């Protein structure tokens, strides 16, 4: 299974926001610049995550993004499950499969998908940003915009 670009960006945003609070808020533009990704795509990701209650967003001058709760309260399996929007790997009904009702494959794939998410639920966002990752995030926060070009 390969995660979507949407999920990848969502995880990067969450990880970036785990750094210590700072004087100036983190903005979508800053994150887009740091990770060299499309600002427009990032807006969609941030909007989705704010709807999930994962982010607090403030508009206008001096506005920005922050995690809505502590990093240890974001189970990775649940986060990825929501970002991916995947409930099953295959849909035997569309297009209709001639093996439907007799095939064992769908059950196996459903079990594997559940095991994938269950394994990730043993970890949180806090686990994902432990050292050395936290050090790399801190360095990204301190980089000047020109240093990224």
pLDDT tens-place string over residues 80-124: 999 999 888 988 888 899 998 889 999 999 999 999 999 999 999
Confidence of residue 149 (pLDDT cuts 50, 70, 90): very low
Beta bridge partners of 145: none
Structure tokens at 127: 């686990």
Contact present, 4 and 84 (Cβ < 8 Å): yes
Residue whose structure tokens are 């995660």: 3
Element (H, E) at 76: helix 76-84
Stated as kind and residue range, the H or E segment containing 66 is strand 64-67
Residue 101, pLDDT score = 84
List the one residue out of 140, 147, 25, 127 whose CA is nearest residue 76: 127
């Amino acid at each position: 299974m390969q995660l979507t670009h949407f999920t990848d960006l969502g995880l990067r945003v969450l990880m970036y926001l785990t750094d210590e609070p700072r004087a100036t808020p983190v903005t979508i533009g800053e994150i887009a610049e740091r990770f060299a990704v499309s600002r427009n795509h990032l807006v969609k990701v941030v909007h989705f995550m704010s709807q999930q209650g994962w982010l607090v967003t403030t508009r206008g001058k001096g506005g920005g993004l922050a995690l809505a709760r502590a990093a240890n309260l974001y189970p990775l399996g649940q986060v990825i499950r929501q970002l991916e929007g995947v409930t099953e790997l295959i849909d035997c009904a569309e297009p209709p499969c001639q093996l439907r009702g007799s095939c064992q494959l769908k059950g196996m794939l459903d079990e594997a998908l559940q095991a994938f998410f269950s394994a990730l639920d043993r970890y949180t966002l806090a686990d994902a940003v432990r050292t050395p990752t936290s050090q790399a995030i801190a360095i990204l926060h301190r980089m000047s915009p020109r240093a990224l070009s």
